[in-house]
Amino acid sequence: MAASSEFDVIICGAGSAGSTVAGMLAADEGLRVLLLEAGPDDVDERVSNPDLWVANLGSERDWGYVTEPGAQIEDRRLFYSMGKGLGGGSSINVGVWSRGHQRDWDDFAIDCADPRWGYRSVLDVYRELETWRGKPDPERRGTSGPLHIQPAQPLHPFFAAMLAGAESVGLEHFDSPNGELAERGSGCAARDEIVEDGLRRSPYRALVAPRRGQRNLTVLTDTLVTKVIFERDRAVGVAAVQQGRSVEFRAAREVVLSLGAVQTPKVLMQSGIGPARHLESVGIGVRADVAAVGANLDDHLLVGCVWEAGMAELPAPARAQAVCFWGTDGRADSPKFVMYSGGSAFMSPEAAARYGVPESAFTFLLGMRLRSRGSVRLASANPASAPVIETGYFDEPDDLRDAVEAYRFVEQIAGTEAMRPYRGSRTVSGAVSDVEIAAYIRTAASTFWHQCGTARMGVDAGSVVDPELRVRDVEGLRVADASVLPRVTSGNTMAPCVVIGHRAAALIRG
């Protein structure tokens, strides 16, 4: 329990964004900062060793959500992992540092009528935060920030072959996915990662852990925030459950929700902020009728495209080392598809049961942006109730058509001469026709763990927060996490969350 229950700013959630907010605010030793986290600490080899990331799935560091049956994915329920613990998703993910493409950020700035969200402004943030250990790129990369970013190294020959295969079918090879490639519509590169001397360096480790000795910073784990406390229409604190007891913490200045794309809208709705009709249906009084809370759930859909292995040695099935971007989501220079790879068979349980799992295989992990959107809703007024999550996968029929087209392109890369030593005699799906490919995709589709969009930022009536991340119709409450993104960025969402946290801290200090 904290020595005091009164603070200036309370940050709920110690993931990538929340850790950035807390670490940057705590730099002002005159500001009393409280960081609350529902999960445990991050002192565990499964966290520090990035090759053990998969051991965290389904553990105490995973919320372990399960979605509602998806009508277009054969009524399957999906295991919907999200990080729970110090570092959040950045403590259990594969460590990819993917900044988002230029078009992502410039369109966010247009959506928000605020140039501070544009690509050139965001580059300044990344340069401030990064210590880049790859090929020098002073226009885009920082050299003295708290976050250690490096290219995946040493590159296994399998990933070099993947990049050579991608280049042979028309994707330009770049030095980094976050340099010039981030300003182009397609290409391939060795990935960037938050790894230093073989150890994970999450935003929590980089920005909060070094300040844990400061008297103005309090970090509490195993503390589940259940709602925001208001006086009139101003947020003045939060209610939480800690070691089975109800506790409250007061905030003199602001409350920041950084709980992720599922827990943030859940807590907003438990606090009476959300669609009025839905709140009334579960017996929660309406404080602010904000219809978009919990709507617009976006993600990269993931399909594991699996091949039997050939004779060449595959990499250990831990972390991908290369990435490809291609296609268009309808906006110029805005890639629709992202692809990683790995040296094992990555399949949904249903696909594994139907198509079988080879003894030795590799997977091209195909991710795609969707037209379809999902939602997060409450099952009841009880904070202990699991949320109701609808992914909406393939509710828009054109998404499935695009997935089939992308699968065909992945087949081209796998079929190149560069990949021949690693490729066995068949694809696991055995699909030949578009109909067969579509059937496999419906069975194999799952999440890429890039959930976002459920507290969308904007200036229109369909937004939840304004360009300064303030929740509509109340005071003293901001959201800083992936839920504010109007749409998923081109790649992984950890790095964009750090930018959001950086912006939130600057706004609060200002």
Give tens-digit pLDDT for 238-288.
Answer: 999 998 999 999 999 999 999 999 999 999 999 999 999 999 999 999 999
**Residue 335 preceded by cis peptide, ω within 30:** no
Q: Are 336 and 489 in contact (CB under 8 A)?
A: no
With tokens 């809703």, the residue in question is 377
Q: Secondary structure of the chain: what % helix, strand, coil (to 5)?
A: 30, 25, 45
Ramachandran angles phi, psi of 264, nearest 5° = -60, -55
Give tens-digit pLDDT for 77-99.
Answer: 999 999 999 999 999 999 999 99
Taking the chain, what is the end-to-end CA distance rounded to the nearest angstrom? 30
**pLDDT score of 317:** 80
**pLDDT score of 319:** 81
Is residue 183 pLDDT above 70, yes or no? yes
The pLDDT > 90 percentage for the chain reads 96
Q: Are 448 and 73 in contact (CB under 8 A)?
A: no
Distance CA 468, CA 484 (A): 11
| Residue closest to 16 by CA, chosen among 488, 501, 470 | 501
The pLDDT > 70 percentage for the chain reads 99
Give residue 248's identity as a one-letter amino acid code. Answer: E
Kindly compute the dihedral angle of the four CA atoms of residues 222, 224, 230, 236, in this order, to the nearest 10 degrees: 20
Q: Are 469 and 493 in contact (CB under 8 A)?
A: no
Give residue 415's identity as a one-letter amino acid code. Answer: G
**pLDDT score of 4:** 65
Give tens-digit pLDDT for 99-135.
Answer: 999 999 999 999 999 999 999 999 999 999 999 999 9
| Residue closest to 437 by CA, chosen among 407, 411, 409, 413 | 407
Give tens-digit pLDDT for 216-231.
Answer: 999 999 999 999 999 9
Give tens-digit pLDDT for 10-44.
Answer: 999 999 999 999 999 999 999 999 999 999 999 99
Give tens-digit pLDDT for 333-354.
Answer: 899 999 999 999 999 999 999 9
Q: Which are the contacts of 458, defined by CB distance < 8 A and separation ≥ 6?
A: 111, 112, 466, 467, 486
Positive or negative CA dihedral for 69, 70, 75, 77?
negative
**pLDDT-derived band at 1, boundaries 50, 70, 90:** very low
How many Cβ atoms sit within 10 Å of the Cβ of residue 371?
14
Whether 450 is catalytic is yes
pLDDT, average across residues 360-375: 97
Give tens-digit pLDDT for 288-322.
Answer: 999 999 999 999 999 999 999 999 999 988 789 99
**Active-site position among 148, 156, 300, 450:** 450
Give tens-digit pLDDT for 458-473.
Answer: 999 999 999 999 999 9
Q: Are 366 and 337 in contact (CB under 8 A)?
A: yes
| Residue closest to 341 by CA, chosen among 365, 318, 314 | 365
Give tens-digit pLDDT for 383-397.
Answer: 999 999 999 999 999
The helix (run of H) or strand (run of E) holding residue 21 is helix 16-26
Q: Which are the contacts of 34, defined by CB distance < 8 A and separation ≥ 6?
A: 2, 7, 9, 10, 11, 218, 220, 249, 251
Rounded to the nearest integer, the mean pLDDT of the chain is 96
Is residue 425 pLDDT above 90, yes or no? no
Q: Are 238 and 227 in contact (CB under 8 A)?
A: yes
Distance CA 390, CA 373 (A): 9
Write the DSSP string, 127-184. Answer: HHHEEE-SS--TTT--BSSSEEEEE--SPPHHHHHHHHHHHHTTPPB-S-TTTGGGGS
Q: Are 419 and 161 in contact (CB under 8 A)?
A: yes
CA distances from 506 to 140, 196, 260, 340 (A): 21, 27, 20, 34
Q: Which are the contacts of 295, defined by CB distance < 8 A and separation ≥ 6?
A: 275, 373, 375, 454, 456
Q: What is the largest CA-CA distance in the chain?
A: 69
**pLDDT score of 322:** 98
The helix (run of H) or strand (run of E) holding residue 434 is helix 434-444
**pLDDT score of 277:** 98
For strands 446-447 and 300-309, give the pairing.
antiparallel
Burial pattern 310-344, b for ≥16 Cβ within 10 A else e, equals beeebbebbbbbbbbbbbebeeebbbbbbbbbbbb
Distance CA 471, CA 264 (A): 12
